[in-house]
Amino acid sequence: MTIKVGDRVPSTSFVKVTADGPEPVESESFFAGRRVALFSVPGAFTPTCSAKHLPGFVEKADALKAKGIDEVACTAVNDAFVMGAWGQSSGVEGKVTMLADGNAAFPKAVGLDMDGTRFGMGVRGQRFSMVVNDGVVEQLNVEAPGEFKVSSAEHMLETL
């Protein structure tokens, strides 16, 4: 079953990329008591993700925060070292928190996983964005396969 607006984010684990190395993060504590703009991409360093999705949220992070977002976070089914390298090469410092999910625990738990085995990618997260307010989904934007419209930073800004 796919998560929907009004649902509580399920209990899963991410690995947060920090200057001191990988740091485990539980979803309950990460989303507790604040408003988070989370977006999911199929993979680090992939074309649309690197050219449009992540750069859009880096560019719009301050505008999102001006509309009441406390933190902007990106998740992908990659390990913490790949997410760290991608974040560093994309200039996310101070703008976007990189959350690795190497086992696809989060997209599976929210019903937004996809089978990318045909492309040699295994199980991945679909392209989506959500606003999570104190652990509850306030806004959910799921892309149709192959599209990049509603999960963008620009769309999120327009709907906040």
110 vs 54: CA distance, rounded Å = 21
What is the residue range of 87's domain?
Answer: 13-159
Percent of the chain clearing pLDDT 90 (strictly above): 79
Rounded Cα–Cα distance for residues 6 and 8 (Å): 7
- Residue 117 within any structural domain of the chain: yes
Q: Mean pLDDT across the chain, nearest whole number?
A: 93
Closest alpha carbon to 88 in 44, 130, 142, 141: 44
* Angle of the 80-90 helix axis to the 54-66 helix axis, nearest 10: 80
Structural domain total, the chain = 1
Asked, for residue 3, whether it belongs to a domain, the answer is no
User: Mean per-residue pLDDT for 61-90?
Assistant: 96
Task: Point out the residues that are catalytic.
Answer: 49
Rounded to two decimals, the pTM is: 0.94
pLDDT digits (tens, 9 = 90+) for 109-136: 999 998 888 887 778 899 999 999 999 9
Asked whether residue 129 is domain-assigned, the answer is yes
Query: d(Cα 148, Cα 127) in Å, to the nearest integer?
Result: 8
Please calculate the CA angle 113-117-118 and round it to the nearest 5 degrees. Answer: 120
Query: How would residue 31 be classed by pLDDT, with cut points 50, 70 and 90?
Result: very high
Residue 2 included in any domain:
no
Furthest-apart CA atoms within the chain: distance in Å = 41
3-state SS, residue 47: helix
6 lies in some domain? no
CB 34 within 8 A of CB 64: no
- Tell me if 135 is assigned to some domain: yes
Q: Is the pLDDT of residue 46 over 90?
A: no
Q: CA 120, CA 96: separation in Å to the nearest integer?
A: 27
DSSP strand pairing (97-100 vs 71-76): parallel
Q: What is the pLDDT of residue 27?
A: 96
* Predicted pLDDT at 43: 87
> What is the three-class DSSP state of 147?
coil
Residue 52's pLDDT is: 85
CATH number at residue 81: 3.40.30.10
